[in-house]
Structures are given as structure tokens and as C-alpha cells.
């Protein structure tokens, strides 16, 4: 599983990677997930539905991430702006 | 007469001196501070690098392409915006925007770094503008702005994943405040035409006879 973070001037950045079936990796991913949320990030998981349509799920806790997903994308939380 | 003029000039100069001294002091102070910060390496904002921004946008486009549906990617590539249907992420298709819609299908137009626009695809009626940003306060290169395609993907994921949450965070305005309604109507029309052409191409595609092996392609 890869954790990607959108950043100005970069595009996405790989911030963590690991196998959730390996306890040590999972622990590291959990810590990183919490750290990103504490920094004010939102987390989303790209998913493909039964019909083959691509969708996204917002996740608020590590336990909500589907075990089979290969990537979680972090991006800054939304704020009402002046656009 | 000359003495009076000289006296007046001296008084004027003295007054000007009094007035301009604080201004000059401030300017000198700022210049000294800037020089000191440059010397200490505190002048940290890197310059704008168009190459870096282009590379970032290229990476963001690849990520967007890998996440959205093929049709949505083609829409963004060809038209510069993405349409997302509303009411898909709520419980049993509940209306996030308004109960007044009573189940009428609505959709959003997502533009990079512009408000999300809600509208009724059946009639083309514009509903609202939702002004929302994703500012990265860590400012890795001095800016909080994500690349264009990342901004579109963030809106897409947030609308798909939790429409209500995104809409509640946004500043809502009537149509026309930020985005020109004429441009929106034109884009809705372009989208309709684009979809018709795409359908037509898809309809015609299977009917094409298989090309003989080794035959020359007239379009190449």
C-alpha cells in the first residue's frame, strides 16, 4: 500500500509504503496516516465499483481503508475560499 | 523681498525635512532588515520555476488519469472541466443541495482553481457556485496552490466520496459571482455536443470492417 500526498510544486509525493499484512509495516502506515490527518489532510481511496466505474471513498480512520487498496491519496482539507 | 523669499524657502525646507525624516527612517530600516535577512539566509522563498510547475502538473495529470473514469479523463483533456453527478455519495441518493430538487438529477462542473458549479443537466439551469480551495499551508515552494489537475482530482474525490462534507465546507454563491454564466452555458452546450459525438463514434466503431493485414493506413 502506498501513501501519496498532493503538494504544490510537486504533484503527488510518495510519503509511505508498506505491506499491511506485515505488522511492522502496518504500524508505520497507521502512524503516518494519523500524522497526515493531524496535519489537516483529508484522505481518499480510489476504488472501482462492481460495474467497473471508478469512484472514491473518503476515509477518516486507518481501519476504514480497504485492505486490498494499493494507494491512499492525501490532500489538504477543503476550505471555503474566495476563489 | 529677497530676504522674505529666502526665509519662506528655508521654512518650507525645514517643514519638508521634518515630514520626510520618519519616512526615510522607515525605508532605511526596511532596507537594513532585508539586507540582514539575505545575509542570514532567511530570504527563503525560492523563485518561481516554470519548469518545476510544468513537471508537477504533468505528474498531477497522470494521477488524475489513473483515478477518474476514462470518459471523465477525456472530458477534462478535451474540454478543460469534469462533470460529476450529484447525490451519489449520500444515503439512498438523498439530495445534498436541496430538498426542492425532489429527486431531479443534478451535476457539478469541476474546473481547476475555480468554484464548483452545480446545475440541472436536463434544463441547463445553473443552481449555485461552491467556492472551495485546498490550501497546503506548508507552502513547499512559497505557494499554497496545488497543481491544476490535483485541484480537479481533490474536488472529484471529495464530491464522489463525501459530497455533503465538501459542500458544507464551501462558500456558496448564486451563479455568476465568480464564473461567467455565459461561459458556463457555452460549456454545458459544448459538453452536450462532445457527448453526442462520442456516442456517435462509439456507435460507428464496431461497424468498421477489420483492416487487412499489411494494408496501408490512409490516415497515417
- pLDDT single digits (tens) B110-126: 999 999 999 999 999 99
pLDDT value, residue A54: 96
Read off the pLDDT band of B13 (50, 70, 90): confident
Each residue of B69-88: pLDDT tens digit?
999 999 999 999 999 999 86
Task: Evaluate whether B57 touches B147 at the Cβ level (below 8 Å).
Answer: yes
Euclidean distance between CA atoms B20 and A40, whole angstroms: 47
Read off the pLDDT band of B2 (50, 70, 90): confident
pLDDT value, residue B123: 93
Task: Evaluate whether A73 touches A6 at the Cβ level (below 8 Å).
Answer: yes
pLDDT value, residue B14: 82
**A2, A3, A5, A11: best mutation site toward chain B, by most B Cβ within 10 Å?**
A11
Each residue of B29-47: pLDDT tens digit?
767 766 765 665 555 556 6
More confident site: B208 or B8: B8
Site of grid cell 462492481: A50
Each residue of B14-29: pLDDT tens digit?
888 877 777 777 777 7
Residue A53 sits at the vertex; the CA angle it makes with A47 and B124, to the nearest 5 degrees, is 120
Site of grid cell 499489411: B214
Q: Cβ contacts (< 8 Å) between A54 and chain B: which residues?
A: 67-69
C-alpha cell at A5: 500526498
Strand partners, B116: B130
DSSP H stretches of helix in chain B: 2-39, 50-67, 70-79, 148-169, 181-204
Task: Evaluate whether A3 touches A74 at the Cβ level (below 8 Å).
Answer: yes
Each residue of A3-56: pLDDT tens digit?
999 999 989 999 999 999 999 999 999 999 999 999 999 999 999 988 999 999
Is residue B21 packed enough to be buried (19+ CB in 10 Å), middle (13-18) or exposed (0-12)? exposed
CB contact under 8 A, A73 and B157: yes
Read off the pLDDT band of A70 (50, 70, 90): very high
In the DSSP assignment, the letter for residue B135 is: -
**A2, A4, A7: best mutation site toward chain B, by most B Cβ within 10 Å?**
A7
Average pLDDT over residues B86-95: 61
DSSP H stretches of helix in B40-132: 50-67, 70-79
Amino acid at each position: 500500500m502506498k501513501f501519496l500526498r498532493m503538494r504544490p510544486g510537486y504533484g503527488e509525493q510518495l510519503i509511505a509504503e508498506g505491506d499491511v499484512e506485515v505488522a511492522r509495516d502496518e504500524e508505520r502506515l497507521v502512524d503516518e496516516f494519523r500524522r497526515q490527518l493531524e496535519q489537516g489532510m483529508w484522505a481518499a481511496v480510489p476504488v472501482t465499483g462492481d460495474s467497473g466505474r471508478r469512484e472514491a471513498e473518503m476515509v477518516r480512520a486507518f481501519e476504514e481503508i480497504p485492505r486490498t487498496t494499493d494507494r491512499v491519496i492525501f490532500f489538504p482539507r477543503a476550505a471555503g475560499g474566495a476563489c | 523681498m529677497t530676504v522674505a523669499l529666502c526665509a519662506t524657502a528655508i521654512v518650507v525646507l525645514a517643514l519638508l525635512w521634518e515630514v520626510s525624516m520618519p519616512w526615510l527612517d522607515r525605508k532605511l530600516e526596511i532596507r537594513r532588515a532585508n539586507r540582514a535577512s539575505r545575509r542570514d539566509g532567511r530570504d527563503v522563498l525560492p523563485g518561481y520555476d516554470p519548469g518545476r510547475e510544468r513537471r508537477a502538473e504533468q505528474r498531477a495529470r497522470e494521477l488524475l488519469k489513473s483515478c477518474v473514469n476514462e470518459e471523465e479523463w477525456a472530458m477534462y483533456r478535451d474540454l478543460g472541466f469534469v462533470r460529476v453527478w450529484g447525490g451519489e455519495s449520500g444515503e439512498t441518493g438523498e439530495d445534498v443541495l436541496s430538498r426542492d430538487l425532489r429527486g431531479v438529477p443534478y451535476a457539478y462542473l469541476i474546473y481547476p482553481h475555480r468554484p464548483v458549479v452545480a446545475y440541472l443537466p436536463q434544463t441547463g439551469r445553473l443552481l449555485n457556485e461552491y467556492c472551495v480551495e485546498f490550501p497546503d499551508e506548508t507552502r513547499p515552494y512559497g505557494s499554497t496552490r496545488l497543481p491544476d489537475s490535483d485541484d480537479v482530482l481533490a474536488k472529484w474525490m471529495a464530491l464522489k466520496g463525501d459530497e455533503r462534507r465538501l459542500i458544507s465546507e464551501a462558500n456558496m454563491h448564486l451563479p455568476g459571482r465568480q464564473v461567467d454564466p455565459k461561459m458556463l452555458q457555452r460549456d454545458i452546450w459544448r459538453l452536450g455536443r462532445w457527448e453526442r459525438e462520442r456516442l456517435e463514434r462509439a456507435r460507428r466503431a464496431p461497424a468498421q470492417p477489420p483492416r487487412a493485414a499489411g494494408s496501408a493506413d490512409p490516415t497515417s
